Amino acid sequence: MFIDPEFGEVVIRKNSRSRSVSFSVATSGRLQATIPSFVSERTVKKTLEQMRDQIRQKLDTKDPTTQRARDAKKKLLMKQAREYLPYRLEYFAKRFGYHYDKVVLSHASSRWGSCTHRKSSLLSPTTITISLNIGLMQVPEAQRDYVIIHELAHINHPDHSKAFWAEVESHDPNYRAHREFLNTHSPGV
C-alpha cells in the first residue's frame, strides 16, 4: 500500500495470474492496483502516473473524509464482530450438533457468509471454514442468526437443495422472512 496525493491510499494486490498492472475500486472504496507477483511498487507508481487521466475518468474517486469515516466504521464493525459472531456461531453449532474447524470474519461486498469444505491433500481430513461478514453487525439479531444457521446447514448440505432448506427451517422456522430482509440489504460498509 502507498499514499497517492490525489487518490489517497492505493491498495496493492499481487496476483500470480496477472500479466499487467490494472486499477479498480476495492470494496473499501480505495483505489486498488492488481499486479503480477514480480512487479515492484515503483513500477505501480510509474504506471499510475501514466494512467492518471484514464483512472480519473474510469473511477469514481472518493472524498478522503468519507473514506476515513468508512474506515472508522469498518474498524468498529470488526471489533463488534470479533466480540460477538464467533461466540454466536459456537452457540448454534453446539446447540444443533455441528462441527466446524475455523471461523473467519470478512468484509465481502456481496456475501453475508460462506461455508468452505477444503482438503489440503487426498489423505488429509476436510477442513470446514465458516466465513461471516462484519456487515452482519448492522442487521437485527434474527437476521444474523439466520446467516449463521444457513452456513452451519451447509456443513451437511453444500448446495441449496430441498434437504438443505428443510434443515435451515428446522432451526429457523422464519428463515424466509429473514432471507427476504437480507436480500434487500447489502453487507458492504
The C-alpha cell at 27 is 470494496
**CB of 77 closer than 8 Å to CB of 188:** no
| pTM for the model | 0.69
Tell me the residue ranges of DSSP E strands in the chain.
2-4, 8-14, 22-25, 31-35, 102-106, 113-118, 127-133
Taking only the tens of pLDDT, the chain with its 189 residues reads 888 888 788 889 898 888 889 888 776 667 888 999 898 989 999 999 998 888 877 665 556 666 677 778 889 999 999 999 999 999 999 999 999 999 999 987 789 999 999 887 777 788 999 999 999 999 999 999 999 999 999 999 999 999 999 999 999 999 999 999 998 888 877
State the pLDDT at residue 172.
97
Q: Which amino acid is at 115?
A: C
Q: What is the pLDDT of residue 139?
A: 95
